[in-house]
Structure 1
Amino acid sequence: MYNLVAFIKICLVCHHPGAATHFSEFAKVFEENAIPYELYTDHKDLDELAANSNHFSAVIVDIAPQSEKVLELFQTLGKKTYVYYDNPEEFVPGGYSETANKIRALADKTLFANANLATEERDIGIGYSPVLNDVLEIRKMRETSDRAAFLNAHGIKDTGQKIIVYFGGANETYYDQAFPHFLDLLKEWDFSNTVLIHQQHPRALKEGNRDGNLLPQIVLSKVNNKEALAIANVALYYQTSMSPLFYLSGVPTFQVGHESYPDVLIRTGLCQSITKHSEISQILSPPQTTIDEQKISAEIGYKENWRDILLEEILNQ
């Protein structure tokens, strides 16, 4: 237990589901160490937050346009402001990086999930990743997954076909370029021995369902990400912070899109990027790979003592 300063109370304001997973773990750390906090998820009523803001010593926001007003509110009150950069990649297409640069410029400090990205004096490399928490759970789920029940729930007869799960995104680069190119690559695809499941991003439905079922051969998923991974023979994606989870869970994984995106799996040579019609058939015969957890952990900047790093910063704000 840490000796706490009585006036410390943390306000966590989160707008996106990805960062929410991180913030929920931070909340556990605060609870374990008797640090008062409040968590606002997708908070739209700034009046309520403003009414309570004087009770906080600091605020931590995620990367979102809405975070700008929250930071301005707390800065007006002279409170410490942090922005949390939850993505493991230095550059993220589709507007994330542009928003991050703007929000980071407003905050006192940036907390990075990937400790490798903390390169400036006011950066703190926390070194946390939810991926490593989920790996063992999904591996166990894969051992006991009910293939027949999954297919039946989606109205599909089990004929021994491969189940390929495509994990969608939710930004303009994905909607306008990566996803249309993926559909184009499928035009000559033989679906007779495969089931293609589209695992939509949680935000996609809220943004007009622009990547809804545009091909009759594609089946929209009725399960969550973990359940989809548990049953997948192959995982496809273009850009997602979940990609290390696909690989570490033992699922053969391919990046598919209009161009190669140099994420952690591509940079480390642990995944192939498919951009051409002549390459798409390779997903049916994925190469055998040996899972290298150490390489992934190092690349995403994970630190075993991330809890201590977080606490040290909060207690010395």
Structure 2
Amino acid sequence: MLLTRLSAAAVVAAGLALPAFAQSMIDKPECIAPANPGGGFDLTCRIAQTGLQPHMSEPVQVTFMPGGIGAVAFNLFNTTRTDDGSAIVAFSTGSLLNIVTGKYGEFTEKDVRWLATAGADFGAVVVRADSKYESLSQLMDDFAADPGSVVLGAGGSVGSQDWMKGALLLKAAGASPMDMRYVAFDGGGDAIAALLGGSIEIYTGDVGEMVPHLESGQMRILAVLSPERLDEPFAEFPTAKEAGYDVEWTILRGFYMGGDVSDEDYQNWVDAFQAAYATEEFAAVQKEKGLLPLNMAGEELQASIEQRVQNLRDIAKEAGLIQ
């Protein structure tokens, strides 16, 4: 299984890197959530705050810096706080997409140091429990025949990562993403309410957020947009790839630092995360916060980000979001 392999590899790598009982010496460590309290960036910082506690000489403080869905923080750490070795900033795949589409201004993914992951979530194709769609193939057939006949919705505007999931599905069905009937909502909660109320037929959400809703029996997952089938509690859900459609969407959550941070300060943070990855306690924090274990730090994450950004650029061009 995907998560089992990733988790095991991360534990081995982390165990070789640093004993779990070691502590990184960082003065007044801070995690900046570039949004208001209560959202995904807040959640990401809370994982650092709780998960790193045994591995840091001081507790991590969480502060909030809303503005531009991360743009204000990204610009600050590319101007006045480029060498701040005590601060890390939360990011997600949505942040990478904003960089690609120019929503973060002139700065690019090459201007900061990508530090570590907090975990991952994966896209999901969700319908009501009584939906006429029993499989992803049935939905894709309708996309191929008449993409405008299906109404999708999610908590993001056109060009957001939730919109991109729908665009990828249409593309895989041989249809144009520009023909998608997409309804944008302020958040996932509003989109789920619209799905249950019948205003939309398909919700392109994330699998991690679906646990309480699936238990209620009101919704079904047609497919998970992960590279391989997930472990429990999602083992029963097929991937889009299993159904014959090469559609994948990983929602990575993690942290970056200013581009001028010293190698020593950067490595102190990397060591703390690698030590945390090696423990059952960190995995428990990830699970509690609704994330799945995808653990990378340092050079491994840096290389992964570069590849992910290139993939996003390719997708954005195909979808007509950028030239």
| TM-score for both structures, normalised by structure 1 | 0.39
| Higher RCO structure, 1 or 2 (CA under 8 Å, sep 6+) | 2
Pair member with larger Rg:
1
| TM-score for both structures, normalised by structure 2 | 0.39
